[in-house]
Amino acid sequence: MNITTEDTGRTVRQWRSAAAEPGTVLLDGFHTLKHALRFGAGVRLAVTADRAGTLELARSLAGDLTAELDAILVEVPERELKGLLTRVHPTGVAALAGRRGRAANLAALHARPRTAPAVVLDNPRNLGNVGAVVRLAAGFGVTGVVTTGDIDPWHPNAVRAGAGLHYATAVERLDVTELPPGPLYALDPEGEDIRSLTLPDDALLAFGSERHGISPELRARADRLVSLPMRPQVSSYNLATSVAMTLFHWGGPPPQGGPPQ
């Protein structure tokens, strides 16, 4: 396939215009784009320096998306791809999409009855941890992930760590006073051992940072404090590990068929 200078220039202009639009999300890497497409992301533009290689990767890892990727992938020279991105993912693929709508997220979080918990991350500081929790939430089929504080859970670093699975669940930033309804179970070292409890399907499962724990505001809002089993003299678990242990205890959705991972 011959890529003309005119074609490349047009693609670069389209990318820069789309990237400047409010609410645009960078999908960095093949697996991020794969999951975003599977869960309904509106992809505005997808680029790669090796179209044939990317489609071969799709045939190997995501056969259900090969035709769709064939229709949307645009090839640009590698030097131009490097100019569009802060860093090029090892798979050599990137795309731009609109983020999942706030109205849809809030509707899911406030639905009654809610058939799966929502995870609340209280003032998280690490974007990689936020993305990892989103990935867990999608895998367990929970209603959504809510963050409090000042970081954007849709930041490119969080979306990358979440492998594009922000589109598979409701991801929103809210104030503690705006949390959706449901009994709030806050993870805290002083809480009841989680192994003695049954977590209801409509629960809010709240986690603080490794250093500071949950905030006084969230503690005051909590219905129950819950602790994870931990060996003495071990100070804490990683945030994503704590979420994984708690969701495993909840139980998750029944197994369902679906496309390959």
Predicted pLDDT of residue 254: 55
According to DSSP, the residues that pair with 142 across neighbouring strands are none
Question: What pLDDT does 252 receive?
Answer: 65
253, 255, 193, 197 alpha-carbon torsion, rounded to 10°: 60
| pTM of the model as a whole | 0.90
CA distance 64 to 59: 8
Query: What pLDDT, on the 0 to 100 scale, is given for residue 255?
Result: 60
C-alpha to C-alpha distance for 66 and 79, rounded to whole angstroms: 25
Q: Which amino acid is at 45?
A: L
Secondary structure (DSSP) of 96-143: EEEPPPHHHHHHHHT-SS-SS-EEEE-S---HHHHHHHHHHHHHHT-S
Model pLDDT, residue 140: 95
Q: Can you give the pLDDT at residue 233?
A: 80
Question: How many other C-beta atoms can be found within 10 angstroms of the C-beta atom of residue 52?
Answer: 11
pLDDT at 259 (0 to 100): 47
Per DSSP, the three-state class of 70 is helix
Tens-level pLDDT at each residue, the chain (261 residues) = 566 788 889 999 999 999 999 999 999 999 999 999 999 999 999 999 999 999 999 999 999 999 999 999 999 999 999 999 989 999 999 999 999 999 999 999 999 999 999 999 999 999 999 999 999 999 999 999 999 999 999 999 999 999 999 999 999 999 999 999 999 999 998 899 999 999 999 999 999 986 778 999 999 999 999 999 988 888 778 899 999 999 999 986 656 654 445
